[in-house]
A and B are shown apart, each in its own frame.
Chain A
């Protein structure tokens, strides 16, 4: 892109070109995801109106016409893409509601869960990682590595099981059904709309795995940085330990941690499926699972595309941030 033109390119120019290329690359990726999902879900045996108690023939015909299911598959596919280009995700078979509206409702809940889990994971992961590195091979380090290993290997629904048995059933500290966050944007700042007792266990269940990842990478990255010459220089010129750690070490150790944010978005997405199902939280993950069970085609497409877009955008943002933060990164 413009590489043939004369004169050296400034850093900003090169980076803008890189950013544009990366954003454009999202289009074919999302198109591929849409196409694969479309044909896969139509290959799922049984249609949306196959039920135990068969509907009258005339009703099924009418329903099929309403949702364009009477047309050949290639036509439905083209229609879907055309509507998608216009931002129309179609209608859900359930209650005839707009898919984008349903996803917006679900996402409002999923986003609260995801963002809280992300904040908890980042805070505890970073703290644990830094403390581990500063006390290498000490008891605190072993504790940190232990928690990180357990967290990385335990599936979140297993962890959730033990949390529920211990904290909700035996101790009775928390409640487990539903989501305690506000239902409307207007209530976000209203403390009485937040039911913390219902929110603790889902957030902890979802944040454990990303926390373990962050702790692991932070520890490794901190250890690496602490051995660098500039840290010795900082010590040699007489800076206090805290200043060296905070201003020089942690700041540089954060760069590799940043690359984790893409995988973490993916982990949170996968986790939200399971956590929302365990705790009966009405988010996008639960909507997807219900949509697959009911063969709700437009809803399957909508939620899949939505999740793919979230993961893709997270990866994109990370790559761009990475290029900004670390001047050594070349992008071409």
Chain B
């Protein structure tokens, strides 16, 4: 009884750190201490919440982003009836920007899911598949490094454009794949590096000595331990993907015309920037807020998960 009490108090005072959960609980605690990261996280949750609500509840969305064209309310600035003003066809910018935010989030997160899958597979194979696989993989990343990102993304996007192959015919998925095909190298390199350094650790040697299969060593011991840097890289990858999508939309290689992606909203607004600059300001600000918040959260996570600063 007394012993249990002592242990409990010791744990409360942080003298004894509970095993295994320690790292993550500690990282989470330190993340909550990071003011900028928390501000970013809260804003992201609110923005994402409003965007999801707008897509489902008409009261939040107020107008349809595509079909409500009010020709007697064209090119207006912000007002109570149109919070973000209206565009050249009298469509409500609030509804359109929220639709764009939801697209950006889907593409940002979707891209990172694809990147994570490809990156983990290639990284693990390169690290554990012997010298030949490793060489091929590293030369491949060398070449992708030589390609300017956006140029490659534009080419990939054009290759996938308008294909009606099964599954890939969805334009959002095409954009996600085009961006992911260029960005997977970051995760792959990271995982490979982690795997190579982890392979020499004592606990991995111990697991191997105990007769664990290579698959079990990788999945049970090595992957969980390389998770921290991967999570950070994925978080930083989201704003990169959001930027790539917005840039594609801006140059004219994005989602097909009626879709209100943020990049296209900015680019369409430019045609009338001299008449009504509010059309450009709100979608541009939305991209800026999304990217800044994800970067802040990424910074916070990196600091929280960095064992050197513990």
Contact = CB atoms under 8 A, between A and B. Distances in A.
Interface of A: 29-30, 32-33, 36-37, 40-41, 43-45, 149-150, 152-155, 157-158, 161-162, 164-165, 169, 266, 269-270, 273-274, 277-278, 288-289, 292-293, 300, 304, 307-308, 311-312
B295 A149 contact: yes
B150, B246, B280, B281 interface centre (most CB from chain A within 10 Å): B150
B251 to A, nearest CB: 6
A92 to B, nearest CB: 17
Main secondary structure of the interface of B (DSSP, over half): helix
Interface string B260-289: 000100100010011001001100110110
B251 A274 contact: yes
Interface string B115-153: 000000000000000000000000000110011111100
A29 B144 CA distance: 9
B233 to A, nearest CB: 16
Contact of B148 (A150, A270, A292): A270
A169 B274 contact: yes
Given A150-B292, A162-B284, A311-B146, A44 B159 contact: yes
Contact of A273 (B143, B251, B287): B251
Q: What 6 pairs between A and B have smallest CB-CB spacing? A: A153-B295, A161-B284, A32-B143, A165-B277, A44-B158, A158-B284
B159 A40 contact: yes
Contact of B239 (A33, A153, A308): A153
Contact of B292 (A41, A154, A169): A154
B48 interface: no
B247 interface: yes
A269 B295 contact: no
Given A37-B155, A270-B148, A304-B151, A165 B281 contact: yes
Contact of B146 (A277, A278, A308): A308
A308 B148 contact: yes
A29 B274 contact: no
A269 B251 CA distance: 15
Contacts of A312: 146
B239 A169 contact: no
B251 A289 contact: yes
8 contacts: A32-B143, A40-B155, A153-B239, A155-B291, A269-B148, A269-B151, A292-B253, A311-B146
A45 B168 CA distance: 15
B35 interface: no
Interface of B: 142-143, 146-151, 154-156, 158-159, 161-163, 239, 243, 246-247, 250-253, 263, 266, 270, 273-274, 277, 280-281, 284-285, 287-288, 291-292, 295
Given A158-B287, A304-B155, 19 more contacts: A32-B146, A33-B147, A43-B159, A44-B158, A44-B159, A45-B159, A152-B295, A153-B295, A155-B291, A157-B284, A158-B266, A162-B281, A169-B273, A169-B274, A273-B247, A289-B251, A292-B155, A307-B148, A307-B151
Contacts of B291: 153-155
Nearest to B263: A157
A164 B274 CA distance: 10
Given A45-B162, A154-B291, A273 B151 contact: yes
Nearest to B274: A169
A289 B250 CA distance: 12
B44 to A, nearest CB: 13
Nearest to B242: A155
Contacts of A162: 281, 284
Contact of B273 (A37, A154, A165, A292): A165
A155 B146 contact: no
A157 B266 contact: yes
A44 B263 CA distance: 23
A146 to B, nearest CB: 11
Nearest to A30: B146
Given A29-B142, A158-B284, A269-B148, A274 B250 contact: yes
Contacts of A153: 239, 288, 291-292, 295
Given A162-B284, A292-B158, A157 B147 contact: no
Contact of B161 (A37, A44, A155): A44
Contacts of B246: 155, 157-158
A41 B155 CA distance: 7
Contacts of B280: 161, 165
